[in-house]
Amino acid sequence: MPFPFTLPTTSSFSFSSSFICESHPSLTLNASTHRGVVKDSLKKHKRLPATSQGPNLPSILSNINSYLPYLLAIDAGLSNKAVSGEEVSVVLTSTPTIEWRPTLSDHAVPGKEIARVKVQSLEYELFFILSTVGYTHTLLARSSLHPLYVTTGVPLGTQERTTAITTATRHLLDAASVHDYLARRAEGLTTAPPCADITQSTARAMSLLALAEATLLAVLKDDPYPAVVAQDRNDNDREWMYKAPEIPKVRAHLFARLCLAAADHAAQASSLCQSSGRGASKLNEGLLRYLEDFRKTSRAKACRFFGIDAELSGQTGNALGWLRCGLQELGFESKETKKGLSLGRMKKDWSERREDKKVERGTNWGADAGKLEETRVIEMLDAKWTKINDTMLTQAIPAPGTLLATLPSGRDIHTIKPYQLPELGRESLEAMRAPPDRSDDFDDEQPSSDDERAVVATPVGAFPGTHDEYRSPSTRSYY
């Protein structure tokens, strides 16, 4: 369910080319070494297949957390601030030039990779690094939740399901904390950021989105209906032969207000992202569409829980009315409203099959923010309660507009904790008082495959060093 972020990549950079640390001469060398590890791990992660990227995320997070204390120490040394009780003095010798490839900005040319942006400030280097930390925490939450949506394996037990949701919630709250720190830090900046990925509004929006996703997970942990629908669609499930699904009573009114709070956070995030601007300062359509779908899904969940609360009170007509409200929020029509063949119904069924394939392959699943999953749950309850109402109770179903006007305000369950920046220990600082034993010059490094520059290979069968004597591998028919 969390948004499928793509981790950014970066170029090589030597800190000693722009900074000199008089108090700790080896600080720049250690910072360049740890940054090189981060750069390599991000590029290797980008080349991995989708099924192998999830297990690689803890390694990336560990490498970034190892690099952050050195970056923060240089940043503190520029202002002659103390690090772990020791004075660090860093002098800027030349303007640094670091390249990062953004992943949230809109594509200037559809289908072509976004061009790198040049960062000429250590502040924006820190923003890119911390944003990557937040994205990694969100992707770790996705990896924890993925087994809940797979319908080809053995269904998860109650304890395994609770553990997966708890782990994902912790990662989402960590992501919200990192983005919240960036949003607060960006308030004091006077220069314009190089791209939309690291603006103050984007950081605030990502913090609100992570908080909204964590809020919905608090509902999912005690919501039995998605598990029942997934179990019914699982071909490997055999429990139906001897046992009916257990659907315990839920605190429907409380869950509905939590869903409304998540919808409010998503609406605020969507407003911040849409106000970012156009061109290079515009965010991509996939993120904007996800935020809108997340808001609709959260409101539909709230309507479903109000329907469950009404059904528990014996008001089946009102319960069905709330389900109609949920479908209206999702943008679908009830089966009772439109009978027979429907183009919209066929399109929805096709989208469901495509989403199931994405879940099985582990590629870009959940990009609809759980919209199709919630539709399945509402339609299951709608079929069940309609049968009861048609045969036994025969209560009138109110119009969706009258029920939506009675929606209460949302209620938060989580609070964002302040992000604690890592700091170099005193022993590490003492060890860096010695002069560096080697240079950290990366100017002779070969370009990576992540760049647009292509490396011409030697023709097959040619003598080494004679590829210039062969005809150019052009695709033109005439020269």
**Total Cβ atoms within 10 A of residue 80:** 11
Q: Model confidence at 71, in pLDDT bands (50, 70, 90)?
A: very high
Q: What's the CA angle centered on 364, arms 362 and 366, to 5 degrees?
A: 95
How far is residue 207's CA from residue 39's CA, in Å, rounded to a whole number? 25
**Interval 90-95 mean pLDDT:** 92
Is the pLDDT at 446 greater than 50? The verdict is no
Q: What's the CA angle centered on 331, arms 321 and 360, to 5 degrees?
A: 110
pLDDT value of residue 345: 59
Residue with token string 């590629």: 363
How far is residue 305's CA from residue 256's CA, in Å, rounded to a whole number? 5
Judged by average pLDDT, the poorest of 109-118, 251-260, 436-445 is 436-445
Residue with token string 């109770």: 393
List, for residues 293-313, the tens digit of each pLDDT value: 999 999 999 999 999 999 888
Hey, what amino acid is at 292?
Answer: E
- The tokens of 86 are what? 């020791």
pTM comes to 0.86
- The tokens of 315 are what? 């008001």
Per DSSP, what are the bridge partners of residue 92? 19
Strands 98-101 and 117-119, bridge-based pairing: antiparallel
Cα 184 to Cα 160, 181, 194, 419: the distances in Å are 37, 5, 18, 11
Cβ-contact 352, 372 below 8 angstroms: yes
Give phi and psi for 137, each to the nearest 5. Answer: -60, -40
Is the pLDDT at 47 greater than 90? The verdict is yes
Hey, what amino acid is at 119?
Answer: V
* Average pLDDT for the chain: 83
The residue ranking higher by pLDDT, 406 or 275, is: 406
How far is residue 6's CA from residue 293's CA, in Å, rounded to a whole number? 19
**Interval 180-208 mean pLDDT:** 92
Is the pLDDT at 191 greater than 60? The verdict is yes
How far is residue 117's CA from residue 115's CA, in Å, rounded to a whole number? 7
H/E element, 90: strand 90-92
Q: Model confidence at 173, in pLDDT bands (50, 70, 90)?
A: very high
Cβ-contact 173, 413 below 8 angstroms: no
Is the pLDDT at 326 greater than 90? The verdict is yes
Per DSSP, what are the bridge partners of residue 90? 21
**Interval 88-96 mean pLDDT:** 91
Q: Model confidence at 81, in pLDDT bands (50, 70, 90)?
A: confident
Q: Model confidence at 65, in pLDDT bands (50, 70, 90)?
A: very high
How far is residue 321's CA from residue 273's CA, in Å, rounded to a whole number? 33
Cβ-contact 406, 333 below 8 angstroms: no
pLDDT value of residue 257: 94
- Which ranges constitute the DSSP H helices of 391-442? 400-404, 426-431
Helix (H, G, I), strand (E, B) or coil at 21: strand
H/E element, 83: strand 82-83
Is the pLDDT at 180 greater than 60? The verdict is yes
- The tokens of 17 are what? 């080319």
Percent of the chain with pLDDT over 70: 78
Cα 379 to Cα 348, 366, 383: the distances in Å are 13, 19, 6
- The tokens of 299 are what? 């409101």
